[in-house]
C-alpha cells in the first residue's frame, strides 16, 4: 500500500510542474499591459517603469518563471495588483467557504445519488427506475446557475413565511459575526504556514462556530449553504446515481451473488455486503472525478448566491486583469483537484486489493 | 422472426440484414430514451431552420409601447385581445422573449457543433499521431494533455477566456481547447487497440503509406467511440457556453444567447421569474436531447453493453 502511494505521488510531480507552467503562461499571455489596467489614467511611461520593476515584470520570461516558482515554494503567492494584499491572505479568507460548499455538495450528491442508484437498480425496468433515470438525465442537463436561481426563487419567495424558507443570498445573517480563532483562544497569530492554516480554520464559519462553541453561527452558516449545495450537487448526484445503478446491475449478475443467496443469506445482507461493496469502486471513482465539476459549480453558484468564495473573487480578478490573483487561485484549485484524485486512487487501492498489486 | 418461413433470402436482403449501419439505425430508433432525445432535437432543429417564420418579432429589436418585463400574454388563455400577444413575455430590454428563445436555438446548435468539431479535429489528430507514432512523441503529447485535464474544465475555460478576452468566439475556442484531451484519448485508445493487428500489418506489407494505413485502416475503428463522445460533448459544450455567457465572459449584448439572456435577468428572478425560467428550460431541453441520444448511441454501439443495463 505504501509503495503504491509513493509511486502515485511521484506521478503527480510532472503534473505539478505542468500546472505551474500553465498558470504562469496564462497570465503572461494576457493581452493588455497590466500597468495600464491597474494604474488607469495615472499610467505614464515613468510610473509604468516603476510598476514593472516593483512586480518583476521587466525581467525576461524565464527569469520571471524561476522567480515565480521559488516564491511559490516559499509560500509567497505575491500581492493582488488591485488592493495590494498578499494573495495567501485572500486565499485564506475565500477558500474555506468554497471548500465548505464543495464538501456539503459532495455529501449531498453522494448519499442521495447512491440511494437513488440502488433503488433504481433493485427495481430495474420498473416505473421507479425509468423515473429516477429520467430525473438523473435532466439533472446532468441543467445549467447549475439556472437551478440555483430557481431554488432561490422557490425557497426564498414561494416558501416565504413557512418554516422551510431559506436565505437566498449571503454567507451569514446580518446579526451574525465571526470572531477570529486566535482572538477567541487568546493566542497571538503564529504567522507563516501555521498562521495560514489557523486563518483557514478561523474563516470557515462552520468550523469557527463549532470550535468557539458558537453553535448558532454554525447553524446559520449551514442554513445559508443549503441552497447553494443543492444547486452545485445536483449534477454530481445525477452522475453518481447513474453510475451506481449500472455498477450495481453488473455486480448483481455475478455468480457469487447467486452463491450468497443460495447459501441462505438475507437479500439485504447480500446487497449491502456483497453487491454494494464490489460496486463501490466505480462509484468512488466517479465521486472523485466529480470534484472538479463541483469546484466549477461552486464558481457559478457563488456569483448567484453572493457568497464570498474563491469563484466570485476569481471572476472579478479575470475581469480586472489581476494576474497574481488568477494565478494563485488557479494553482490552489489545481492542487486541490490533483490531490483529490490522489485520494480517490488511494481509496481504490484500499477497496480493491488488485490495484495495489498491479 | 420470419426466418423459419422464409428459408432463402435474396442477396440484397442478406446484405441489408447484416449491414451494421442498418442494424444500428434500427436499434437506435427502438431505444426508448434516444427516441425522446431525437424528438426534442427534431423540435430544436425545426425551430432553428424556421426561426424567421416562427418568431413573431425581431429578436434584437426593442419594441415600442410595451412594458418592460411584462408577463406572458396569450390571447387563448384570457389575455385581453387589445394587448399585443407575447406568449413568453417581454424581457428587461423590451424585446419579445419568445422570438429570442427561438433564435437562440440557432446559436445553441452552432455553438455545440462548432466547438465539438474543432475539438474532434485537433484532439483526433493529436491522439492519432500519439497512438500511431508512439515513443517520446506519444509521451510529450499525452502528458501535456494530462496537464490540461488537471484543471476543472469550466475553470480552465474561464482562465483561457481571460487570456483571449471575453466574447462568444473566444469562449467557444476556450471550450474547444478544454475538450481536446477527451477526444485525443478516445482516438489514441482506438489506434492502440488495432495498431498491431494482422490486417493493419497486411496493409503495411502491401506497401501502403503510413498516412493511408492510418486513415483507411485504423481511423474507422475510432469512429464509434467518437460519435458517442461527440454527441455527449455537444451537450456539455452548450452547457459550458451558456455558463460562460452567464458570467459575462461569452456572448455579448444583444445576442439572443440563452445563457446571456439568463445572466441579464438574474436579478429579476423574484419579480419576473419567467425571464429566468424559460431560457433555462430551453438550455436544459437542448442539452437533454443530446445527452439522451448520446446515451442511446452508447447502448447501441457498444457491444459490451448489449446484455447489460
Put simply, the answer to whether B152 touches A149 (Cβ < 8 Å) is no
Whole-number Å distance between alpha carbons of A208 and B19: 66
pLDDT value at residue A31: 63
Q: Is a pLDDT exceeding 80 seen at residue A27?
A: no
What is the per-residue pLDDT across A210-263, written as a single tens digit (0 to 9) for each? 888 888 889 899 999 999 999 999 999 999 999 999 889 888 888 888 899 899
Cβ atoms of A105 and A236 within 8 Å: the answer is yes
A144 touches chain B (CB under 8 A): yes
Residue A28's pLDDT band, with cuts at 50, 70 and 90, is confident
Q: Which of B248, B266, B292 has its CB closest to that of A304?
A: B266
What is the per-residue pLDDT across A277-307, written as a single tens digit (0 to 9) for each? 888 888 887 887 787 788 888 878 888 888 9
Bridge partners of B280, per DSSP, are: none
**Nearest Cα residue in chain B from A136:** B288
Whole-number Å distance between alpha carbons of B128 and B146: 16
What is the per-residue pLDDT across A157-178, written as a single tens digit (0 to 9) for each? 888 888 888 888 888 887 878 8
- Cell 497571538 found at: A188
Put simply, the answer to whether A315 touches B148 (Cβ < 8 Å) is no
A18 touches chain B (CB under 8 A): yes
**Nearest Cα residue in chain A from B285:** A141
Residue A34's pLDDT band, with cuts at 50, 70 and 90, is low
Shortest Cα distance, chain A CAs vs residue B233, angstroms: 12
Tell me, what DSSP letter sits at residue A178? P
Chain B hits for A326, Cβ within 8 Å: 159, 162
pLDDT value at residue B307: 42
Chain B hits for A306, Cβ within 8 Å: none
Helix axes A144-153, A215-252, angle to 10 degrees: 130
Put simply, the answer to whether A30 touches B163 (Cβ < 8 Å) is yes
The larger pLDDT score, comparing residue A21 to residue B107, is at B107
Chain A hits for B33, Cβ within 8 Å: 133-134, 137
Tell me, what DSSP letter sits at residue A274? I
Residues 322-351 of A with CB under 8 A from B: 326, 330, 333-334, 337-338
pLDDT value at residue A244: 92
Q: Is a pLDDT exceeding 80 seen at residue A206?
A: yes
pLDDT value at residue B38: 95
Chain B hits for A105, Cβ within 8 Å: none
* Cis? peptide before B254, omega within 30° of 0: yes
What is the per-residue pLDDT across B244-278, written as a single tens digit (0 to 9) for each? 999 888 888 888 999 999 988 888 888 889 999 99
Whole-number Å distance between alpha carbons of B38 and B46: 12
pLDDT value at residue B308: 39
**Nearest Cα residue in chain A from B304:** A250
- Cell 501535456 found at: B144
Put simply, the answer to whether A150 touches B276 (Cβ < 8 Å) is yes
Put simply, the answer to whether A333 touches B155 (Cβ < 8 Å) is yes
Residues 214-253 of A with CB under 8 A from B: 245-246, 249-250
Chain B hits for A293, Cβ within 8 Å: 152-154
**Nearest Cα residue in chain B from A157:** B270
Q: Which of B44, B159, B277, B302 to mutate to test the interface with A (most CBs of A within 10 A)?
A: B159
Residues 148-177 of A with CB under 8 A from B: 149-150, 152-153, 156-157
Determine the average pLDDT of the residues in A15-27: 80
Query: Rg for chain B (alpha carbons), in Å?
Result: 24
Cβ-proximal residues to B12 (8 Å cutoff; 6+ apart), any chain: none
Q: Considering chain A, what percentage of its residues have pLDDT values greater than 90?
A: 20
Average pLDDT, whole number, for chain A? 84
Cβ atoms of A1 and A358 within 8 Å: the answer is no
Q: Which of B144, B162, B279 has its CB closest to that of A318?
A: B162
Shortest Cα distance, chain B CAs vs residue A217, angstroms: 27
Q: Which of B239, B291, B292 has its CB closest to that of A143?
A: B239
Q: Which of B147, B152, B270 has its CB closest to that of A22?
A: B147
Spatial CA neighbour of B92 closest among B255, B245, B281, B266: B266
- Cell 424559460 found at: B278
Q: Is a pLDDT exceeding 60 seen at residue A30?
A: yes
Whole-number Å distance between alpha carbons of B36 and A141: 14
Task: Report the top-level CATH class of A87-357.
Answer: mainly alpha
Chain A hits for B173, Cβ within 8 Å: none
Q: Is a pLDDT exceeding 80 seen at residue A269?
A: yes
3-class DSSP assignment, residue B90:
strand
Phi first, then psi: what are they for A86, rounded to 5°?
Answer: -60, 140
C-alpha grid cell, residue B166: 471575453
Put simply, the answer to whether B269 touches A153 (Cβ < 8 Å) is yes
Chain A hits for B283, Cβ within 8 Å: 142-143, 146
What is the per-residue pLDDT across A96-126, written as a single tens digit (0 to 9) for each? 999 999 999 999 999 999 999 999 999 988 8
Query: How many CB pairs below 8 A link A and B?
Result: 146
Chain B hits for A322, Cβ within 8 Å: none
pTM of the model: 0.85
Chain B hits for A138, Cβ within 8 Å: 284, 288
Q: Could you say which residues of chain B have pLDDT below 50?
A: 1-3, 306-309
pLDDT value at residue B4: 52
- Cell 474547444 found at: B176
Determine the average pLDDT of the residues in A12-22: 82
Amino acid at each position: 500500500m505504501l509503495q503504491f502511494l509513493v509511486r502515485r505521488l511521484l506521478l503527480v510531480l510532472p503534473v505539478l510542474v505542468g500546472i505551474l507552467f500553465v498558470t504562469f503562461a496564462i497570465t503572461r499571455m494576457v493581452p493588455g499591459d497590466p500597468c495600464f489596467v491597474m494604474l488607469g489614467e495615472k499610467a505614464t511611461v515613468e510610473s509604468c517603469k516603476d510598476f514593472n520593476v516593483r512586480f518583476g515584470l521587466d525581467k525576461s520570461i524565464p527569469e520571471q518563471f524561476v522567480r515565480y516558482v521559488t516564491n511559490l515554494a516559499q509560500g509567497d503567492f505575491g500581492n493582488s495588483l488591485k488592493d495590494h494584499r498578499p494573495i495567501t491572505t485572500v486565499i485564506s479568507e475565500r477558500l474555506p467557504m468554497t471548500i465548505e460548499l464543495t464538501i456539503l455538495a459532495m455529501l449531498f450528491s453522494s448519499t442521495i445519488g447512491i440511494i437513488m442508484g440502488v433503488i433504481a437498480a433493485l427495481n430495474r425496468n420498473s416505473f421507479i427506475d425509468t423515473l429516477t433515470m429520467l430525473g438523473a438525465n435532466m439533472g446532468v442537463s441543467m445549467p447549475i446557475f439556472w437551478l440555483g436561481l430557481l431554488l432561490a426563487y422557490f425557497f426564498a419567495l414561494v416558501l416565504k413565511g413557512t418554516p422551510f424558507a431559506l436565505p437566498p443570498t449571503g454567507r451569514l445573517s446580518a446579526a451574525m459575526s465571526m470572531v477570529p480563532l486566535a482572538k477567541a483562544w487568546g493566542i497571538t497569530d503564529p504567522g507563516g504556514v501555521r498562521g495560514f492554516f489557523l486563518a483557514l480554520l478561523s474563516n470557515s464559519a462552520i468550523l469557527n462556530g463549532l470550535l468557539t462553541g458558537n453553535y448558532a453561527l454554525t447553524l446559520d452558516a449551514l442554513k445559508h449553504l443549503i441552497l447553494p449545495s443543492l444547486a452545485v450537487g445536483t449534477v454530481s448526484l445525477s452522475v453518481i446515481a447513474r453510475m451506481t445503478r449500472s455498477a450495481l446491475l453488473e455486480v448483481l449478475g455475478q455468480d457469487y451473488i447467486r452463491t450468497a443467496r443460495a447459501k441462505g443469506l438475507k437479500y439485504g445482507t447480500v446487497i449491502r455486503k456483497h453487491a454494494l461493496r464490489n460496486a463501490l469502486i466505480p462509484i468512488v471513482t466517479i465521486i472523485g472525478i466529480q470534484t472538479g465539476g463541483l469546484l466549477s459549480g461552486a464558481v457559478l453558484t457563488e456569483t448567484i448566491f453572493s457568497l464570498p468564495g474563491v469563484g466570485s473573487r476569481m471572476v472579478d480578478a479575470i475581469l480586472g486583469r489581476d494576474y497574481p490573483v488568477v494565478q494563485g487561485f488557479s494553482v490552489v484549485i489545481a492542487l486541490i483537484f490533483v490531490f483529490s484524485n490522489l485520494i480517490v486512487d488511494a481509496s481504490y487501492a484500499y477497496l480493491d486489493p488488485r490495484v495495489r498489486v498491479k | 422472426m420470419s426466418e423459419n418461413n422464409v428459408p432463402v433470402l435474396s442477396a440484397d436482403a442478406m446484405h441489408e440484414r447484416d449491414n451494421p449501419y442498418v442494424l444500428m439505425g434500427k436499434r437506435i430508433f427502438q431505444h426508448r430514451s434516444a427516441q425522446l432525445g431525437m424528438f426534442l432535437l427534431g423540435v430544436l432543429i425545426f425551430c432553428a431552420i424556421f426561426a424567421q417564420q416562427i418568431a413573431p418579432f425581431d429578436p434584437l429589436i426593442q419594441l415600442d409601447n410595451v412594458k418592460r418585463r411584462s408577463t406572458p400574454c396569450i390571447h387563448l388563455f384570457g389575455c385581453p385581445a387589445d394587448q399585443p400577444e407575447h406568449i413568453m413575455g417581454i424581457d428587461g430590454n423590451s424585446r419579445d422573449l419568445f422570438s429570442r428563445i427561438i433564435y437562440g436555438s440557432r446559436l445553441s446548435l452552432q455553438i455545440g457543433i462548432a466547438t465539438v468539431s474543432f475539438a474532434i479535429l485537433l484532439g483526433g489528430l493529436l491522439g492519432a499521431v500519439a497512438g500511431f507514432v508512439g515513443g517520446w512523441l506519444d509521451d510529450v503529447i499525452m502528458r501535456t494533455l494530462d496537464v490540461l485535464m488537471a484543471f476543472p474544465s469550466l475553470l480552465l475555460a474561464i482562465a483561457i477566456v481571460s487570456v483571449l478576452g471575453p466574447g462568444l468566439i473566444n469562449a467557444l475556442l476556450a471550450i474547444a481547447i478544454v475538450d481536446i484531451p477527451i477526444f485525443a484519448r478516445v482516438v489514441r485508445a482506438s489506434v492502440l487497440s488495432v495498431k498491431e493487428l494482422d490486417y493493419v500489418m497486411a496493409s503495411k506489407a502491401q506497401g501502403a503509406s503510413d498516412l493511408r494505413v492510418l486513415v483507411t485502416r485504423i481511423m474507422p475503428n475510432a469512429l464509434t467511440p467518437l460519435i458517442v463522445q461527440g454527441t455527449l460533448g455537444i451537450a456539455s459544450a452548450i452547457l459550458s457556453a451558456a455558463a460562460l455567457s452567464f458570467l459575462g465572459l461569452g456572448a455579448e449584448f444583444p445576442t439572443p444567447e440563452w445563457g446571456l439572456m439568463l445572466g441579464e435577468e438574474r436579478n429579476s428572478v423574484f419579480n419576473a421569474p419567467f425571464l429566468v425560467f424559460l431560457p433555462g428550460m430551453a438550455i436544459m431541453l437542448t442539452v437533454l436531447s443530446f445527452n439522451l441520444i448520446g446515451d442511446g448511441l452508447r447502448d447501441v454501439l457498444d457491444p459490451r453493453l448489449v446484455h447489460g443495463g
